[in-house]
Amino acid sequence: MKYRTERRSVAALHTRDGITAPITRTETVRVPVPPRDWETIGLRVAVGVVIALTLVSIVWSTVSIGNLLAGGTGYAAGSIFDAAWIVCITLELLARYEPEKRVLPQRLGWVLLAVTMVAIAGDGWASHAWGQVAVGPLVSLVAKILWQAVMHHIHRELSDDDLAWMHHQRSEAHLGLALAGTRRQVARVRAHAAAELLAMEQAGYPAEVLTAEVVAPPVVPTRSQATLDDASDGILADSVYGTEASETTVSAIDAARADGWTVREIYAAAMAARPVGVTRSDDAGYLPRMASGQVSTPSAAPPIRPGFQSERVPEQPHRAEQTTSLSLATAVRVLMTGGVTDRDKLQALLPPLVGKPYLEESLDREIRKWRPRADE
């Protein structure tokens, strides 16, 4: 075993007069010298020699083929021939662990070498240099054979199981890379789309154009009449009795919307089921007026359902007749659960539904109350 002497700097503590301080101390150590890796050294020497001969081959083929192509830019074209099969050697090196990938660059390299040899022989034939015709093409052939010998030493053969495992690992890594690239492309496209919409908004395009989505028509589910009846009964009860929206009514509306009914259809069903002459909180005298014929249901609308009459609240003072008005709470809830969340749009749609003035503070309170459910 051989050793070599090295000087190293090590951290240490030094104490004087009771005070300890960190210092850097230089020490001399003997380090064992590993034996030379003659295999690696020999491979490096062989590769270096082959690279030098390849450079000679490239210069030779470039000059010969350049002369055949009348010089000038012909020399630049002549450099392509040897460079082409050298690229195939590089691809073969990258595929040293995969025999299937090595096949194509190996075959292509021999074909490109044959083309180079023919071009060199053609230059000798054109100049009547018969020595060049016979020996000139062998320069590139020798360089190619030497590279094949080096590659044969570099190639690493793996078992079928090891190859399958390696392909699986590479497949997972390539999948991650592909997903990352796809996500980046999607993010870039979305950012570009957002910028386009912002530019359209600044240019004054209408809101309908900005919010339009090109999607496939949804599949209309089979809608149940029972869910529509439950939701319209709840709205009708809130409207007639003037009560706040109950959780039962909200749940019924959500169930109807999930079943495919729109807010407009639910509201229309509630208004159609409302008997003519019955006004909001008009409980006093409702039954007597119905019995005397003063109250009737429209022929085109279904009569009020029996379960609704059994839920009547105690008598309340008679209010002015509002045949199509809703309470502010009910109107805001119906509009916001239907997708209208902008305050200005709510103010524009509320007057025909409520039918009477309301306080701005009351509107703000109802918006704050129903916004969380509308955002779901």
b or e along 273-286 (b: 16 or more beta carbons within 10 Å of the residue's beta carbon)? bbbeebbbbbbeeb
Percent of the chain with pLDDT over 70: 76
- The whole-angstrom separation of Cα 113 and Cα 107 is 10
Give the three-class secondary structure for 143: helix
The pLDDT score that the predictor gives to residue 321 is 41
Of residues 80, 101, 81, the one with CA closest to residue 91: 101
Q: Which residue shows structure tokens 């509630």?
A: 270
The pTM of the whole model exceeds 0.75? no
The pLDDT score that the predictor gives to residue 303 is 41
The pLDDT score that the predictor gives to residue 95 is 87
Higher pLDDT, 146 or 297: 146
Q: Which residue shows structure tokens 């690493």?
A: 156
To 5 degrees, how large is the angle CA 152–CA 156–CA 161?
145
b or e along 240-269 (b: 16 or more beta carbons within 10 Å of the residue's beta carbon)? bbbeebeeebbebbebbbebbbebebbbeb
> What confidence category does residue 76 fall into, taking pLDDT thresholds of 50, 70 and 90?
confident
Examine the pLDDT at 349 and tell me if it is beyond 90.
no
Task: List the domain boundaries for the chain.
Answer: 38-154, 161-198, 225-375
Examine the pLDDT at 233 and tell me if it is beyond 80.
no
Please give the backbone phi and psi of residue 14, each rounded to the nearest 5 degrees, phi first.
-130, 130
- Lowest-confidence region among 62-66, 204-208, 231-235, 345-349: 204-208
Cβ atoms of 245 and 337 within 8 Å: the answer is no
- The whole-angstrom separation of Cα 305 and Cα 235 is 13
